[in-house]
């Protein structure tokens, strides 16, 4: 019980003292963003868990939503023992969908009910498409503070994205992938998340 109280106290302390960095870099082209993506579900990337120090083996899922109003949401999760030590794609997808549902239905607050706390922007951002190029920028949490990430890719078609560039503004390191990271689309009910967009991002227009 004491551990829970301490953890809760530390969480709120971090939220109260947090900073949002790189806001000046959270800008996009002034040209209208083209609508080339499906927005009635999510895009996902499958990658292998091949690190020797990792207990789990198999595959992992990166999941990202692209809403039709230009906002994007990145779904992060931890499997725990849900999929065992050998994670198969089907289980990885189910675990990620479970976390997405939890976020939409329980963790994320409705826009008009959000406080002024910075944590509402966690894993949220925006994207812009011009011709076949997509630029995505979103904020991640690092020890209670929020830093910007930028990704660039090619829209192959409405169900396939190939990302070739990644930049972390916290470290100022950028990476060009030798092999593009391919994201494929899956239809999934996400309508409720439109009412959970961070108020801070909306106010930054």
Say how far apart CA 195 and CA 128 lie, in whole Å: 21
Q: How far is CA 123 from the centre of its chain?
A: 4
Task: Please say whether the beta carbons of 175 and 166 come within 8 A.
Answer: yes
- Residue-wise pLDDT for 24-37, tens only, equals 999 999 899 999 99
- Residue-wise pLDDT for 120-159, tens only, equals 999 999 999 999 999 999 999 999 999 999 999 999 999 9
Phi-psi region for residue 70, left (φ > 0), alpha (ψ -120 to 50) or beta?
Answer: left
The reply to whether the predicted model has a pTM over 0.75 is yes
Q: Where do the domains of the chain lie?
A: 19-203
Task: Please say whether the beta carbons of 154 and 137 come within 8 A.
Answer: no
């Amino acid at each position: 019980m004491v551990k829970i109280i301490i953890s809760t106290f530390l969480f709120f302390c971090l939220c109260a003292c947090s900073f949002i960095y790189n806001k000046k870099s959270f800008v996009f082209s002034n040209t209208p963003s083209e609508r080339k993506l499906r927005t009635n579900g999510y895009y996902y990337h499958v990658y292998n868990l091949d690190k020797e120090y990792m207990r789990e083996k198999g595959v992992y899922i990166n999941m990202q939503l692209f809403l039709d109003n230009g906002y994007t949401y990145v779904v992060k999760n931890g499997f725990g023992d849900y999929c065992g030590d050998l994670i198969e794609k089907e289980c990885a997808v189910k675990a990620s969908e479970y976390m997405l549902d939890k976020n939409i239905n329980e963790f994320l607050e409705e826009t008009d009910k959000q406080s002024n706390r910075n944590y509402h922007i966690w894993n949220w951002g925006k994207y812009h498409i011009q011709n076949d190029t997509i630029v995505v920028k979103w904020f991640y949490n690092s020890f209670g503070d929020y830093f910007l990430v930028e990704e660039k890719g090619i829209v192959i078609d409405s169900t396939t994205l190939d990302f070739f560039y990644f930049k972390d503004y916290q470290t100022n390191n950028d990476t060009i992938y030798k092999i593009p990271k391919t994201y494929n689309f899956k239809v999934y009910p996400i309508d409720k998340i439109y009412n959970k967009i961070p108020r801070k991002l909306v106010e930054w227009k």
